[in-house]
Structure 1
Amino acid sequence: MTSAPPAPLETGVVSTRRGRPPAPSHFRPRRIAGVAALYGILAILILMPVALVVISAFTTTTPRPGNIDLTSLTLENFAAVFSPGALRAAGNSLLVGIGASIVALACGGFLAFVTARSNAPARRFLYFVGLVPMFLPSFVGALAWGLLGGPNAGLLNILARDLGLGQVINIYTLPGLIVVLGIYYAPYAFLLIHASFSLMNPDLEEAARVHGSTPAQVLRRVTFPLATPAILGSAILIFVLTVENFPVAQMIGSASGLDTLPTYIFRLMNSAPSRGNEAAAVAIALVIVVLVVTAIQRRIVSRRTFTTVAGKGLKLAKVDLGWFRVPALILGIVYFVVTTVLPLLALLFVAMHESPYVASVTGAFTSGRLNLDEFVDVLTDPTVQRATVNSVTVGVSAALIGTVLAFIVSYVVNRTKTPGRGGLGYISMIPLAVPAIVLGLGLLWTWLLIPLPVYGTLLVMVIAFVAAQMPQGYQGASSGILQIHADLEDSAVMHGASRTRAIWKVTAPLLRVPLTSTFLLLLMLSMRELTVPLFLFTTDTRLLSIIIFDDFENGILQSSAATSVLYCGLIFVLAYLARRFGADAPKGN
């Protein structure tokens, strides 16, 4: 007589009573209620804003308190999509996306190859050069290059006149917009391509060399083709990010009447009267462009296999650059000067100049026209002080709530068997495909519509940031949870601990480093964000990014420059904290 096999343990639920199999998790009402609650939270945070944008595009009225009119359906709003202004904006967006992707791939890909695979000198410094533009918000870079490259009052042109030369640069053009976006999004290409070059299996390259290929042929036929997923993936990512970028396009394009789709949407919303329904229709067109481009990238990559990482440790051979070693270092230094040194010097110079009008760059140093008065004014300005407190409050709160929510959602998706849990992951990733200006528009209508007194408070900013950064939080939490075996937690449950206690005492401590890194990432993203809160701020809830943008739009360049310097200093501090307590924190056993 054979005994019956023991009932399998259900992940997430273990009975401690002998002779009694655990109840399947999907039979537990509390589990189902918990998942339903998460769906409700994500629906309000993400689905409702997107749905309201869609509804607005197909109706004649925009959502407002106490009224969503679903009877006045129309397709007339989409006429705005095919208007001359929208078509010009779409064409500009396409050129900007393609051009900025090429510039970013050239800069980031070059630095990635030099630091990962070459024998160039000072590779550690060049690695730092590849990353540092991430800590200078792109709209601050656009502000700085506006100060440097303006056709009349740009500092580089003024300096050229001091030296007896003519105009050397005009940043307020389509090529200028492309270059500024490209150099400040190059770090995304650098990180992705550097990782790909670092993980390659050198046996494939060695086999090519053994069969007579020259170093150039090995790079062209083996190395670069194997990096195709990273190169193509970063190109698509940068294309999407630059196409949906609003502040840089507004700062550089507005001076020359150059519209992209995000700036066109913003102008529709701020026209008198507001053309919110048409803005929603154009927003949907922008979302469709993003989704189509992403689908094309996935289809191309899925056709081929690029797996090269083996289970053994392999050392990559360095490519001898020969005579190009020193020029490679010089090119890296030039990129560092263009993206970081010159912009920061321009911000400092304008902030320290005694007047907003600069007649001579060299004369300012020789005649003692530089001082720190503007920094004193900014530091003592109650509006800036309030905005600083608001930024830190919103950033810390959004990062904390976002990390906790992302952990809970990721845990439910990856560690439980509750029916329908997979949909939580898909909803969490939706903001990645929705441009920030579209999400901001939807969040405005959502919190005007919901009968809760949060609009006009910092709470609505926190909610908006949690929604916008849910993909980054979810991915960060998931990567940590998937690295920890479920048996560790289940063992605690089998020894009598409740599931909640096991998570608190076992799983959470093991996730300290990834969750800390996720928190600091969300904090930095919140501090840098401008587009999402643009529709939500009031006089009392302005953030530092809003202060900088408002001062620029109103022509108060000295104040905008001084605030930008302090803003960048704060972000650099956060970057240090991210490395100090995140990446460099002890990993444990």
Structure 2
Amino acid sequence: MTVTTVIAGSVIFLLLAIPLAVQVITAFRGPFLPFGVSSAKWSVDNFVTLWELREDFWAVLGSTAVFVGGSTIISLLMAFGLAWVTVRTDAPFRRVISVLVIVPFIVPPIVKAQAYLLMLSPESGVLNQVLRLLPGDLVVDPYAFSTMVVIQSLTNVTFPYLMIVPILTSMDGSLEESARVSGASWPQTLRRVTLPMLWPGLLGVTVLTFILGLGSLEVPLLFGQESGKDIFALKLWTLISASAGELPQYGLAAAWGCVFLVITTIAFVIYLRATRDAERRASISGKGFRPTVMKLGGWKPPVLLAVFVFTLLTAILPLFALFWSAITPYPIAFSFEALATQTHFTAFGEVLGDPEFWASLGRTLVIAGGSATIACVAATVLAYGIARGRRTVWTKAVDLFASSSVAIPAVIAGFAMFLTFMVINPVIPLAGTIAALVIAYSYRVSIAYRSGYSATLQIRKELEEAALVSGASPLEGFRKVVVPLLMPTVFAVWIQMFILGTNEFTLPAFLATPESRPLSVYMYAMINPRSAQLYAPDAGAAMALIFTLLVFLIGYGLQWAVSLVAIGRARRRSAIPGLGARPAAAPNDPPAPATRAVAAQELEEQKEFADR
């Protein structure tokens, strides 16, 4: 078991530490690759260049701060408001609202960015058509910096919403009731009671949303070629995507990556220090716990209107814009005349008949499935070893390191992996291969690690001790006792990471080649005017819709299959003598209501888990 844990820890170390080390070395060795190049030497020239280009340096810092910080604040405000409505108010259709907020999560980020670009087209965009019907002749410029900030915030609302909902659900409402009884208004109660109680959780959501936005490339790439050229993600992409006749500036890009890696590390440390005493704000107890439900009264119509506008902007209009682009030969404004005379559905047939579409889809499934498997297996084994080991400085350091990938933006991870594979390519030719993408996608291992660690702590040690007393080795006890109990959590995390892998665009944007590109990159080539012969906007929109439908069917199909397995396991367990239905017995045998009640309760819990 020790050897297995060491192997799992080594895999995670290779996934996280080696690429970042190569990036740091590249920042201090030459303008190109750090090894195998005659001009490579140790120096601080790249950082000196950053400082000499002070105007550019501060422009990148300022633009990134406004873009990421502004989108983070807006998305958090919207997510908190939606979570408050669905959890702490008596608003009608709360379950429907929660579903509508989550639905955009299944849409791949590059698809959402493309949909917003089509929706905001100055001439043919459906949103601008709607705005022209209002007084004032309003038109939204899709390439304005402020528009980018709003679009980025709309694409990220679901993530903080999913994290804020359990925080609000777990907060005892008696404290808010006490404030209300004391004469405080709802704004005063929110400011002086609710937000201080939620501060640790909200700070964590803020930091993670900030890091997520910092590593996002889709919106800057599609919207920000001019106004957003100084955003960090696009800046890094531009430095390594050299124009004709120019060499890529890997060293300078690595220096930029180091600067922003320090920023995200500081943000992560601030979050850890701010939340180390989070238990002081715990409000759930076993006595009298109940959430407060706020009666909206006359505010119900405005709240429902706000939710409708949000749904319109995040789901209805973007998907309609994609569909309209897929059935028209070129960008034209929507009208019933155009609908009757200029629409066609040939783009869907072209996509389904395109062999490269199916090849890219197959590569996407292989990359997403392989990376999710590597991350879940390595993280689960290491999490078990750390959770069951003694709490020493070493285990605490390993625990923090295994959790650290959440502090690495995707754009930095993608660039660091790109440098690593370029450096080792003469010895291990992985650059541009599917194997390289599988390894790169696995860097989000901390998602699986934290889930596995929490799930291990919920398993009592008596089960493993019983296996040891029965003659099993620690490895056999882990494999035969612990693993079956961890499988529901592992499967749930695997599905989540698989969906993230199918949606991923930032990592393959740095690593993929035409022979290894997943579907997200191939679809971007079809909607990018610079792609020459691949450019086909109607086929790209049709592919985006098919891609979204496939992600939905695969993701929810896997969850449905896992729920069936969980329900079947619970039913089989309820049929075991002593746990569920009693075996045939004599008429005078006493009933066993307690054991049956326990089995029934377990079955209900399994069904509830399956429903979730």
Same fold (TM over 0.5): yes
1:186 corresponds to 2:131: no
Corresponding residue of 1:56: 26
Amino acid at match of 1:73: S
Cα-to-partner distance string for 1:2-32 (whole Å, 9 max, x where unaligned)? xxxxxxxxxx7xxxxxxxxxxxxxxxxxx3x
SS of 1:535's equivalent? helix
Partner of 1:410: 383
Note the C-alpha offset of 1:241: 1.6
**What is the aligned partner in structure 2 of residue 73 from structure 1?**
43
One-letter code aligned to 1:58? F
Q: How does 1:419-458 map to 2 (within 5 A)?
A: 420-450=394-424, 451-458=427-434
2:439 corresponds in structure 1 to 463
Deviation at 1:532, TM superposition (A): 1.2
CA distance 1:47–1:547, shift in 2 (3 Å):
same
Counterparts of 1:136 and 1:206, CA distance in 2: 39
Q: Map of 1:73-472 to 2, 5 A cutoff?
A: 73-80=43-50, 82-157=53-128, 166=137, 168-254=139-225, 256=227, 258-271=229-242, 272-302=246-276, 305-312=280-287, 314-353=289-328, 355-358=329-332, 360-367=334-341, 369-417=342-390, 420-450=394-424, 451-467=427-443, 469-472=444-447
Aligned amino acid, residue 151 of structure 1: P
Contact 1:202 1:317 in 2 (8 A): yes
User: 1:570 is matched by which residue type in structure 2?
Assistant: L
Q: Which AA in structure 2 matches 1:287?
A: L
String of CA shifts for 1:357-402, please: whole Å, max 9, x gaps. 31554432132x2221101101111111110010011111111222
1:15 alignment partner in structure 2: none
Corresponding residue SS for 2:156: helix
- In the TM superposition, residue 407 of structure 1 has moved relative to its aligned partner by 1.0
In the superposition, relative to structure 1, how do residues 198 and 158 fare at CA in structure 2: closer, same or farther (>3 Å)? Answer: closer
| Whole-angstrom distance in 2 between the partners of 1:302 and 1:408 | 26
Of 61-70 and 484-493, deviating more is 61-70
Range 379-388 or range 79-88, more displaced: 79-88
On the 8 A contact 2:323/2:542 being kept in 1, the answer is yes
Instruction: Specify the SS of the correspondent of 1:227.
Output: helix
What code does the residue aligned with 2:345 have?
A: L
Take 1:507 and 1:326, find their aligned partners in 2: how far apart are those partners? 51
Give a deviation string over 1:334-368, Cα, whole Å, max 9, x none.
11111111111111110111x1231554432132x
Alignment counterpart, residue 544 of structure 1, candidates 507, 512, 519: 519
Q: Report the 3-state secondary structure (helix = DSSP H, G, I; strand = E; otherwise coil) of the residue aligned with 1:316.
A: coil
Structure 1's 579 and 337: CA in aligned 2 closer, same or farther, altered over 3 A?
A: farther
CA drift at 1:321: 0.8
Deviation of residue 503 (structure 1)? 1.7
Is 2:21 the partner of 1:46?
A: no
Q: Distance in 1 between matches of 2:277 and 2:460?
A: 32
Shift in CA distance, 407/360, structure 1 to aligned 2, threshold 3 Å = closer
* Residue of structure 2 aligned with 1:556, choices 522, 531, 536: 536
* Greater Cα shift, 269-278 or 410-419: 410-419
| Cα deviation digits, residues 278-319 of structure 1 (max 9, x gap) | 000111111122122333344444577322111236222311
Question: Partner amino acid for 2:371?
Answer: A
Q: Check whether the contact 1:447–1:455 (CA below 8 A) recurs between aligned residues.
A: yes
Q: Is the 8 A contact 1:520 1:578 kept in 2?
A: yes
Moved more, 392-401 or 65-74: 65-74
Structure 1: runs of 5 or more not aligned: 1-11, 13-30
8 Å contact 1:118–1:320 — kept in the other structure?
yes
User: Once the 2 structures are TM-superposed, how far is the Cα of residue 521 of structure 1 from its aligned partner?
Assistant: 0.9
Q: Distance in 1 between matches of 2:126 and 2:87?
A: 36
Distance 1:220 1:66 in 2: 58
Residue of 547, 551, 559 corresponding to 1:567: 547
State the SS of the aligned residue for 1:511: helix
Describe the shift of the 1:150–1:343 C-alpha distance in structure 2 as closer, same or farther (beyond 3 A). same
Deviation at 1:583, TM superposition (A): 7.0
Supply the distance in 1 between the matched residues of 2:547 and 2:28 (Cα, whole angstroms): 40
Structure 1: how far apart are the matches of 2:515 and 2:337?
Answer: 41
Q: Counterpart amino acid of 2:520? A: S
2:448 and 2:493 in contact (8 A); partners too = yes
Q: Provide the rounded CA distance (Å) in 1 between the counterparts of 2:65 and 2:391.
A: 43
Whole-angstrom CA distance in 2 between matches of 1:184 and 1:268: 26
Distance 2:481 2:250 in 1: 50
Amino acid at match of 2:105: M
The alpha carbon displacement at 1:413 in A equals: 1.3
CA RMSD across the alignment: 2.6
Would the alpha carbon gap of residues 293 and 456 (structure 1) be closer, same or farther in structure 2, given more than 3 Å must change?
Answer: closer
Post-superposition shift, 1:202? 2.4
Equivalent AA in structure 2 for residue 329 of structure 1: L
Matched-pair contact (CA < 8 Å) for 1:138–1:181:
no
Residues 441-450 or 527-536, more deviating: 441-450
Q: Letter of the aligned partner of 1:424 in structure 2? A: V
Query: What SS does the corresponding residue of 2:515 show, helix, strand or coil?
Result: helix
Alignment partner, residue 497 of structure 2? 522
Say if 1:157 and 1:166, in contact at 8 Å, map to a contact too. Answer: no
1-structure distance, mates of 2:476, 2:384: 14
Q: Is the 8 A contact 1:80 1:86 kept in 2?
A: yes
Q: With the length of structure 1 as denominator, give the TM-score of the two structures.
A: 0.88
What secondary structure does 2:248 align onto? coil
Between the two proteins, what is the percent identity of the paired residues?
26
Which sections of structure 2, spanning at least 5 residues, go unmatched?
Answer: 530-534, 571-601, 603-612
In 2, Cα distance between equivalents of 1:357 and 1:207:
58
CA distance change for structure 1 residues 69 and 491 in 2, over 3 Å: closer, same or farther?
farther
User: Higher mean Cα deviation, 266-275 or 444-453?
Assistant: 444-453
Rounded Cα–Cα distance in structure 2 between residues aligned with 1:171 and 1:496: 67
2: CA distance, partners of 1:233 / 1:394: 30
- Whole-angstrom distance in 2 between the partners of 1:559 and 1:568: 14
Deviations 1:33-85 (A, max 9, x none): 55554444333222111011101111214436756987432234442364433
Q: Which amino acid aligns with 2:374?
A: I
Compared with structure 1, are the counterparts of its residues 357 and 208 closer, same or farther at alpha carbon in structure 2 (3 Å cutoff)?
Answer: closer
Range with bigger deviation, 315-324 or 414-423: 414-423
2: distance between equivalents of 1:395 and 1:265?
A: 25
Partner of 2:593: none
Change (3 A) 1:159 1:321: closer
How many residues get paired?
556
Work out the CA distance in 2 between the residues paired with 1:222 and 1:456.
53
- Are the counterparts in 1 of residues 523 and 540 from structure 2 also a CA contact under 8 Å? yes
| Whole-Å separation in 1 of the counterparts to 2:558 and 2:146 | 34
In 2, Cα distance between equivalents of 1:204 and 1:500: 47
Shift of 1:579: 4.2
Distance 2:337 2:48 in 1: 55
Counterpart CA distance in 2 for 1:183 and 1:434 is 22
After TM superposition, the score normalised by the length of structure 2 is: 0.85
